């Protein structure tokens, strides 16, 4: 049987991580002496690497200020995680969908703007660590939509672009897929609109995890 690789984004696709991201970003700005950013704008950057996200949220600030926001964010997010205060629930139907894909012969990966430690904690919390053969994070790659994460996932899974699909909730995920020559499928339960996903190159947009299974065949 030929390889079939499904690579997932994490926040906004597998888990709803916006609460923790918004809290940490707001506090990071305040601790740096800046007004907290609008929550809608913070949700829009979920999925990007942290430095890229901060550049978009604080475009007029000096690099030293953005570096301090980055440091504060990492400290606040880590403290919340270690205190057991970080809530990143799985979306309904995700576990069943992942199990069904594995049972039908798919191999699974993740390409995320999370750091290695954050992704490891998230997967372990939900008992999903063993579901994925390749984990690509912002610690080792440029931010989406650069194709590096997907290219590394393809190499680790020994798959070609034609054998893979990228599944995500943002235009950054769709752009990364197109840049890597991989089919892109959006999901409508995340942080960007269906129209944005189609405009960014989604071949289809799933309306539920069950519908995603149908789209993947």
Q: Residue range 170-179: average pLDDT?
A: 97
Q: What's the pLDDT band for 116 if we cut at 50, 70, 90?
A: very high
**Catalytic one of 9, 16, 169, 173:** 9
Residues in a beta bridge with 7 = 109, 166
Q: Is 1's pLDDT higher than 90? A: no
Assess whether 10 and 22 both reside in one domain: no
pLDDT in tens, 19-58: 889 999 999 999 999 999 999 999 899 888 999 999 999 9
- 7-37 burial by CB neighbour count: b if 16+ within 10 A, else e? bbbbbbbbbbbbebbbbbbbbbbeebeeeeb
Assess whether 39 and 127 both reside in one domain: no
Tell me the percentage of the chain whose pLDDT exceeds 70.
100
Assess whether 97 and 110 both reside in one domain: yes
Q: Residue range 80-102: average pLDDT?
A: 94
- We report the CATH number of the domain holding residue 40 as 1.10.150.240
pLDDT, position 87: 87
Assess whether 32 and 55 both reside in one domain: yes
Q: Is 8's pLDDT higher than 90? A: yes
Catalytic (active site) residue 99: no
Catalytic (active site) residue 75: no
Assess whether 133 and 198 both reside in one domain: yes
Query: pTM, whole model, 2 decimals?
Result: 0.91
Q: How far is 123 from 133, CA to CA, in rounded Å? A: 13
Assess whether 76 and 142 both reside in one domain: no
> How close are the terminal C-alpha atoms of the chain, in Å?
15
From 82, 107, 129, give the residue that closes a domain.
82
Domain count across the chain: 2
From 82, 109, 129, give the residue that closes a domain.
82
Assess whether 11 and 115 both reside in one domain: yes
Assess whether 71 and 159 both reside in one domain: no
pLDDT, position 155: 97
- We report the CATH number of the domain holding residue 166 as 3.40.50.1000
Assess whether 41 and 125 both reside in one domain: no
Tell me the percentage of the chain whose pLDDT exceeds 90.
89
Q: Residue range 159-181: average pLDDT?
A: 98
Peptide bond before 145: cis, by omega within 30 degrees of 0?
yes
Q: Is 80's pLDDT higher than 60? A: yes
Task: Choose among 122, 181, 128, 119: nearest CA to 150.
Answer: 181
Assess whether 30 and 136 both reside in one domain: no
Assess whether 51 and 68 both reside in one domain: yes
pLDDT, position 59: 95
User: Among 76-90, 134-148, 164-178, whose mean pLDDT is lowest?
Assistant: 76-90
- Give the range of the structural domain holding residue 147, as residue numbers without chain letter: 5-16+89-216
């Amino acid at each position: 049987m030929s390889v079939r690789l499904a690579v997932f984004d994490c926040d906004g696709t597998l888990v709803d991580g916006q609460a923790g991201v918004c809290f940490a970003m707001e506090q990071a700005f305040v601790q740096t002496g800046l007004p907290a950013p609008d929550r809608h704008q913070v949700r829009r950057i979920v999925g990007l690497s942290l430095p890229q996200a901060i550049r978009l949220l604080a475009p007029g600030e000096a690099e030293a200020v953005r570096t301090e926001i980055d440091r504060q964010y990492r400290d606040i997010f880590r403290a919340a995680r270690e205190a057991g205060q970080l809530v990143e629930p799985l979306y309904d139907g995700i576990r069943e969908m992942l199990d069904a894909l594995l049972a039908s012969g798919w191999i699974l990966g993740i390409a995320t703007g999370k750091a290695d430690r954050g992704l490891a904690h998230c997967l372990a919390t939900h008992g999903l660590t063993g579901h994925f053969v390749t984990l690509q994070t912002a610690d080792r790659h440029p931010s989406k939509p650069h194709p590096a994460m997907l290219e590394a996932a393809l190499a680790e899974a020994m798959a070609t672009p034609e054998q893979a699909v990228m599944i995500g909730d943002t235009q950054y995920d769709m752009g990364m897929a197109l840049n890597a020559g991989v089919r892109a499928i959006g999901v409508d339960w995340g942080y960007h609109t269906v129209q944005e996903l189609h405009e960014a190159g989604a071949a289809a947009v799933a309306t539920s995890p069950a519908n995603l299974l149908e789209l993947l065949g």
